[in-house]
Structure 1
Amino acid sequence: MLEERLEQLFGSPLNLRQKGTPLYLLVKKAINAPILDGRLIGGDNLPPERDLAQYLNVSRVTIRRAIDELVKDEVLTQRQGAGTFVSERVEQPLNHLRSFTEIMQDRGKSISSKWLDRSLGMPRAEERAALNLQDDDLVVRFYRLRFTDGKPMALELASIPSQYILNPFAVEGSLYALLDKQGKRPVRAFQRLRAISIDSERANLLSIPESSAVLYIERTGVCAENSPVEFTRSWFPGDSYDFVAELQNTL
């Protein structure tokens, strides 16, 4: 059965020796091919290194280097004690204002959270600027690690003016659902995205190596009355998301 799977993924045993090209790059290309054409999809496990080496007629050192390169490219992900898997990616549109819960539920994912902080306090400078607050106003902060199907998928720190949510423990699931009940759900938002290297504390929470590239997003959400009601900072593992947007020619 293993032999059949290897043949299904890679075809007949390949001659991977090509003059002038490092062998590990040829192996990398061979492993990536069934991912590119859909024979391996997000969440699928890669055959064991030993079997890949035997089938492709290369050393395990070469297989390991090729896999390491694909892990760096965020095509593959490794889970300690479980093996090597094709990275699962969530396609998230940038032109629709939706919550993490709504996006994952649409994809049939099981959602859970680990609360890191729920508190009421004085606004920091960035919160005052984003939410148009005075120095003596209060904000409620919700900081949590978000999971889908048991996998860490995002760190999310949301700040809400206390006039909209006073109790830090009022949110259990979707923050947007609670704001919607009060008629204060954001109807538009300004988002700023950039790639950053993650610090050791957040890397540990997301179960990724320190200094890994992650996508950092700041979002300020505005309700129908044109008042800012949400200032959220999120950290997304780079191997988990594709952010897409539809662009139109306005000329």
Structure 2
Amino acid sequence: MSPRAELPRKLSRRSPKGEQLRAILEDLIDALAPGDPLPSERELAERYDVARMTVRAEITALAAEGRVQRVQGRGTFVAEARVAQAAALSSFTEDMRARGLKPGSEVLGQGVVPADDLVARRLGLDPGTDVVRVRRVRTADGEPMALEEAFLPADRFGALAAADLRGASLFTVLEERFDARFPVADQQVVAVEIVGEDANLLRVAPGRAGLKFHTILLDEDERPLAYAWSLFRGDRYEIRLRQERRP
């Protein structure tokens, strides 16, 4: 059945047309599969007797939320579902597998480098101290999901510079090979634009929204064990929180 056949015939007079159109589009998106096309702005405007600017505004809002994707010259399509960050401390590999996706990675760089001021500060080291740096593109079902760089003190994790990390979970390698334990982590998340080489590696248009995570793994004594930053595609990843209000 075509997307047009799934749509209600007309709008009611009980609420604003824009609100009704938004609800109709959300229901349609839920019923379709990622990559399926939506009716054009012209079709929707004519079907529901609304201004094309109203239609465009609702589709623009859906695109900003990552529900749909616009392709120049082709139309608007249902976007891939977003992956939500797990509440518990877990690796990228664990996150993807929990959601039925196949995790993978492409190693862009791996070796020992001197810690710059930022890395040294976050690891509690002197600037210039040797650290192992691992830079990877993380994938889900073969599609780029995040760009990641991890830094670890070379005096303990020097062998990591030569480890095969192409399909490996860094958390698992640290736990099983180095007997490292990191029960807690400090994490900061900021919204950024994905630009330059990062956009190329993640296969998104420059200027698209991203989420950048800065994570410090802490050992049992809450000493810094590793520092990593991860840049996730904003159209494929989201953060969900459950919060409680204290009396």
Task: Assess same fold via TM > 0.5.
Answer: yes
Equivalences for 1:98-177 in 2 at 5 Å? 98-166=90-158, 167-170=160-163, 171-172=165-166, 173-177=168-172
Query: TM-score scaled by structure 1?
Result: 0.79
In 2: Cα distance, 1:190 partner to 1:208 partner = 28
In 1: Cα distance, 2:118 partner to 2:12 partner = 54
Equivalences for 1:202-241 in 2 at 5 Å? 202-241=198-237
Change (3 A) 1:135 1:17: same
Amino acid at match of 1:45: D
What is the total number of aligned residue pairs between the two structures?
Answer: 241
Find the counterpart in structure 1 of residue 37 from structure 2.
46
In 1: Cα distance, 2:230 partner to 2:130 partner = 21
In 1: Cα distance, 2:209 partner to 2:99 partner = 25
In 2: Cα distance, 1:174 partner to 1:146 partner = 10
Equivalences for 1:69-108 in 2 at 5 Å? 69-78=61-70, 84-94=77-87, 96-108=88-100
In 2: Cα distance, 1:17 partner to 1:143 partner = 55
Q: Which deviations, in whole Å up to 9, do the C-alpha atoms of 1:195-220 show, x marking residues without a partner?
A: 11222221222122212221111010
Query: TM-score scaled by structure 2?
Result: 0.81
Consecutive unaligned residues of structure 2, counting only runs of 5 or more, are: none
In 1: Cα distance, 2:13 partner to 2:244 partner = 46
Q: CA RMSD in A?
A: 3.3
Find the counterpart in structure 2 of residue 30 from structure 1.
24
TM-fit CA distance, 1:156 = 0.8
Find the counterpart in structure 2 of residue 178 from structure 1.
173
Contact 1:112 1:146 in 2 (8 A): yes
In 2: Cα distance, 1:54 partner to 1:193 partner = 39
Amino acid at match of 2:112: L
Consecutive unaligned residues of structure 1, counting only runs of 5 or more, are: none
Query: Larger deviation: 99-108 or 47-56?
Result: 47-56
Contact 2:40 2:76 in 1 (8 A): no
Amino acid at match of 1:216: K
Find the counterpart in structure 1 of residue 4 from structure 2.
6
In 1: Cα distance, 2:131 partner to 2:94 partner = 24
Contact 1:92 1:241 in 2 (8 A): yes
Runs of 4+ in 1 over 4 A off after TM superposition: 15-18, 23-29, 50-55, 61-66, 78-83
In 2: Cα distance, 1:241 partner to 1:135 partner = 33
**Other structure's SS at 2:162 match:** coil
